[in-house]
């Protein structure tokens, strides 16, 4: 009888992080609270090797990131449960980085325009200054990044 062994593969493909981040609907970001991680989902965009997310001007996440800007993040795409084989196929990304508030008006506008374009938001582009003043843009400078994929059998062993 032939046995099919499925493995999770660590990817070395430099294009894969962008592919995953550009396809993912949400990015889960874990903030450092000192006690437990504070994990929230965000709309995001991948620009020039950085991740941009938008949020409110104030609140718990802003308080937390101002104390400690270290974050972890994760997302997955192409998730398909294969029940008859008791496995799941996927492409995923996990990483760490430092998050900061974007204060440069043009960088903030570029990131918000890219987010609104990516999610087909019905808002004017370029983003007007008045709208920029009502939103916070956070930039994650990536320090580590790992992509994994499991897309089916990788090798066959005889039993």
Instruction: Please give the tally of structural domains in the chain.
Output: 1
Say if CB 157 and CB 9 are below 8 A apart: no
Q: What is the CATH number of the domain that holds 15?
A: 2.30.110.10
The reply to whether 139 falls in a domain is yes
Quote the pTM value: 0.85
- Which domain does 95 fall in, by range? 2-147
Say if CB 46 and CB 115 are below 8 A apart: no
Give the pLDDT band (50/70/90) at residue 5: very low
Over the stretch 41-93, which tens digit does the pLDDT of each residue have? Answer: 999 999 999 999 999 999 999 999 999 999 999 999 999 999 998 989 999 99
The reply to whether 58 falls in a domain is yes
pLDDT of residue 152: 53
Region 21-38 average pLDDT: 95
The reply to whether 159 falls in a domain is no
Over the stretch 85-140, which tens digit does the pLDDT of each residue have? Answer: 898 999 999 999 999 999 999 999 999 999 999 998 888 889 889 999 999 999 99
The reply to whether 158 falls in a domain is no
**Contact partners, residue 75, CB within 8 Å, separation at least 6:** 20, 21, 24, 26, 27, 28, 92, 93
| Structure-token pair, residue 30 | 């874990």
């Amino acid at each position: 009888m032939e046995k099919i062994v499925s493995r999770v593969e660590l990817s070395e493909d430099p294009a894969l992080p962008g592919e995953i981040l550009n396809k993912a609907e949400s990015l889960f970001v874990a903030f450092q609270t000192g006690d437990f991680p504070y994990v929230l989902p965000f709309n995001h965009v991948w620009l020039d090797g950085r991740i941009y997310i938008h949020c409110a001007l104030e609140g718990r996440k802003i308080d937390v990131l101002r104390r400690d800007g270290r974050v972890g993040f994760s997302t997955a795409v192409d998730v398909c449960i294969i029940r008859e084989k008791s496995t799941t196929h996927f492409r995923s990304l996990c990483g760490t980085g430092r998050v900061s508030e974007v204060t440069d008006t043009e960088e903030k506008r570029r990131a918000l325009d890219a987010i609104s374009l990516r999610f087909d938001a019905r808002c004017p582009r370029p983003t007007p200054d008045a709208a920029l003043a009502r939103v916070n843009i956070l930039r994650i400078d990536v320090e580590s990044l790992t992509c994994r994929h499991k897309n089916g059998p990788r090798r066959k062993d005889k039993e």
